[in-house]
Amino acid sequence: MAKAPAQSTDDLMKARLQELQDEKAALEASTVDLRGQRDVLHGKVDEINAGIRDLTAQIDAIERPRIIELSEEISRLAQATGGKSMGRSVVE
């Protein structure tokens, strides 16, 4: 019987490369559904974050102008009364 010619190192590396690429493709294919589910959840998170940003902007538009005025007046009065905060009694 004739002996089969030995494969070259290059041929062995090419064969191994193909095996690895096939295994990687199969592994990625096995998680396609999970990746799809994750993408759907990412979409929901993006939608929720957009809603949070919108509500925060609305709250800021309502509160911020007056909050700044109140904070400034509170600061002036606190300094004028010896640095007492709103939570502490001015009369001791």
CB 51 within 8 A of CB 42: no
∠ CA 32-38-44, rounded to 5°: 145
Q: Per residue of the chain (92 residues), give pLDDT as tens.
A: 667 778 999 999 999 999 999 999 999 999 999 999 999 999 999 999 999 999 999 999 999 999 999 999 999 999 999 876 655 544 44
Domain boundaries, the chain: 33-82
C-alpha count within 13 angstroms, C-beta hemisphere, residue 62: 5
